[in-house]
Amino acid sequence: MYDLHRDLIEALKATPETLTGLLSGISEAQAHSATGGDENWSVVEVICHLRDADEVSVQRVEAMRDLDTPAILNYDQEAMAIEHNYKAAELQPTLAEFEAQRQRLLTILSDLTPEQWERAGQHSEFGRITILGHTIHKVNHDAIHCAQIARQLSNAE
């Protein structure tokens, strides 16, 4: 039988390693000049987005774990990019910040009981979501952005 919770945690653990491999040998200039995706973000800006999305995920998972059906508010990723000055970020420190934030999320998820994975919140855009559903969304989000970075780097060469 599959252990879905463990599989999701392992998939989330893999993203920092995937990014490290994709970014091996990439200069700061390349990380800023390789742009793409719907937002036309640079590679560094995508990493900033992943870092900040994990910070939001930590807040959401803790709220769903600790409260009865908390409100899960949508956030404006474009406004966050401006507020956190993604354009000025540097690749290696941002990657390290993402890895630290990811570890926080992994620690929380690893400590959940099977029942806690089913705890829910009420998302302002998507309605009822569970920790499990949110984590599946995170794994998908990671895959999309890793593929985006791979495309951006291959198009920049």
Q: Which residue has the higher pLDDT, 36 or 56?
A: 56
Full domain range(s) for residue 118: 4-156
Domain with 144 in it: what CATH number? 1.20.120.450
Task: Tell whether the model's pLDDT for residue 1 goes beyond 90.
Answer: no
How many domains are contained in the chain?
1
Band (pLDDT 50/70/90 cuts) for residue 151 is very high
Whole-model pTM: value is: 0.96
Band (pLDDT 50/70/90 cuts) for residue 60 is very high
Contact 16, 147 (CB under 8 A): no
Contact 36, 109 (CB under 8 A): no
Residue 37: the pLDDT is 87
Residue 38: the pLDDT is 85
Residue 156: the pLDDT is 74
Contact 108, 116 (CB under 8 A): no
Tens of pLDDT, residues 114-137:
999 999 999 999 999 999 999 999
Residue 91: the pLDDT is 97
Task: Tell whether the model's pLDDT for residue 48 goes beyond 80.
Answer: yes
Give per-residue burial for 98-126: e unless 16+ CB within 10 Å, then b: bbebbeebbebbeebeeebbebbbebeee
Alpha helix stretches (DSSP H) within the chain: 4-23, 28-33, 43-66, 77-83, 91-110, 131-156
DSSP structural state of residue 67: S
β-sheet with 127-130: strand ranges across = 71-72, 120-123, 127-130
